[in-house]
Amino acid sequence: MVAMNITVCVKQIPEPSSPGALDPSTHALKRDGKLILDESDAYGVEMALQLVAAAGGGEVNVVSMAPNGETSGMRTALAMGAAKGVLVSDPALAGSDALTTAKVLAAATKKLPAADLIIAATESSDGYTGTVPEQMAEVLGLPSITFAKKVRVDGTTLKVDRQSESGYDEVECPLPAVVSVTAGVVEPRYPSFKGIMDAKKKPIDTHTAGDLGVSPAGWAGAGQKVVSVQQAEARKAGTIIEDDGASHGKIVAFLEDLKVI
């Protein structure tokens, strides 16, 4: 095996357990509080660490785009074992659409050692547009395999089990390539105490969109505009009962009423 370098795209998102909110003027997701590593991206970081270990050398690096120079989510990836990071943070990027994000991240990967493989999650947990990995591949002129549930590297060939509607497909392509991984593809490690301490000293280079030569960006460049936000019609509240050992009878009666049985 030969050493390989992998770049992982990570998103730093608001704590998912806190209720989401939209900015009243821009209608964008509010992302001004503390940001954490998107759980979906922990799978990609873990996958990268395992592939590099299997290759017997090389390094895992991370790229991210976030407001306000936020790095706490990236530090989690570094604590897991990634070597260094590139952050793109620029007020002009606020409100960017998925295409601009892909252009920015693609440019950011070039600030790191050339990657044999670029890994991303299939979609983020907050915005879930779900197109950025494939858009990055097109920007970079690379082959791509999305929705990977199993990934291995054999020499310079990427071998992936890719989810399909009816099961999975075996797909292969030469490296370098972009792959998007689903949750559950591997079990992400917890950062060790030493990992957390080391991560504080690992380098994160911060760039603006201008540094990367990407424009237009932000609200001005987004090809979309929110025109309305409405409350969805809520389902009517139903009957909630505590099981007393006979509640299955209520289900039977309910199904009878609907003529399902």
**Residues in region 239-258 near another protein by CB under 8 A:** 239-243, 245, 247-252, 254-255, 258
User: Is residue 36 part of the contact set for another protein (CB under 8 A)?
Assistant: no
Q: How far is the CB of 45 from another protein (least distance, A)?
A: 16
Stretch of residues binding another protein (CB under 8 A), selected from 65-73, 189-197, 207-215, 217-225: 217-225
Q: How far apart are CA 7 and CA 3, in angstroms?
A: 14
Which positions from 78 to 117 touch another protein by CB under 8 A, shown as an x/- string? -------------------xxxx-x---------------
User: Is residue 122 part of the contact set for another protein (CB under 8 A)?
Assistant: yes
Collapsing DSSP states into helix, strand and coil, what is residue 164? coil
The residue among 15 and 205 lying less far from another protein, judged by its C-beta, is 15
Q: How far apart are CA 148 and CA 153, in angstroms?
A: 13
Instruction: Say how far residue 179 (Cα) sits from the centre of its chain.
Output: 12
- The tokens for 80 are 């897991």
Residue in the structure block whose two tokens are 């299939």? 122
Are the beta carbons of 124 and 13 closer than 8 angstroms?
Answer: yes
Q: How far is the CB of 148 from another protein (least distance, A)?
A: 11
**DSSP per position, 80-97:** HT--EEEEE--GGGTT--
Provide the sign of the torsion angle of the four alpha carbons 76, 180, 20, 92, taken in this order: positive
- The tokens for 143 are 């082959």
- Residue from 23, 134, 198, 211 in contact with another protein (CB under 8 A): 134
Are the beta carbons of 109 and 140 closer than 8 angstroms?
Answer: yes
User: Is residue 13 part of the contact set for another protein (CB under 8 A)?
Assistant: no
Which positions from 52 to 71 touch another protein by CB under 8 A, shown as an x/- string? --------------------
Q: How far is the CB of 145 from another protein (least distance, A)?
A: 5
User: Is residue 124 part of the contact set for another protein (CB under 8 A)?
Assistant: no
The residue among 84 and 149 lying less far from another protein, judged by its C-beta, is 149
Dihedral angle over CA of 14, 15, 20, 26, nearest 10: -10
The residue among 155 and 165 lying less far from another protein, judged by its C-beta, is 165
- The tokens for 98 are 């998925």
User: Is residue 151 part of the contact set for another protein (CB under 8 A)?
Assistant: no
Provide the sign of the torsion angle of the four alpha carbons 188, 194, 197, 202, taken in this order: negative
Collapsing DSSP states into helix, strand and coil, what is residue 214? coil
User: Is residue 167 part of the contact set for another protein (CB under 8 A)?
Assistant: yes
Stretch of residues binding another protein (CB under 8 A), selected from 5-13, 48-56, 161-169, 194-202: 161-169
User: Is residue 163 part of the contact set for another protein (CB under 8 A)?
Assistant: yes
E-assigned strands of 39-114? Answer: 60-65, 84-88
User: Is residue 144 part of the contact set for another protein (CB under 8 A)?
Assistant: yes
User: Is residue 25 part of the contact set for another protein (CB under 8 A)?
Assistant: no
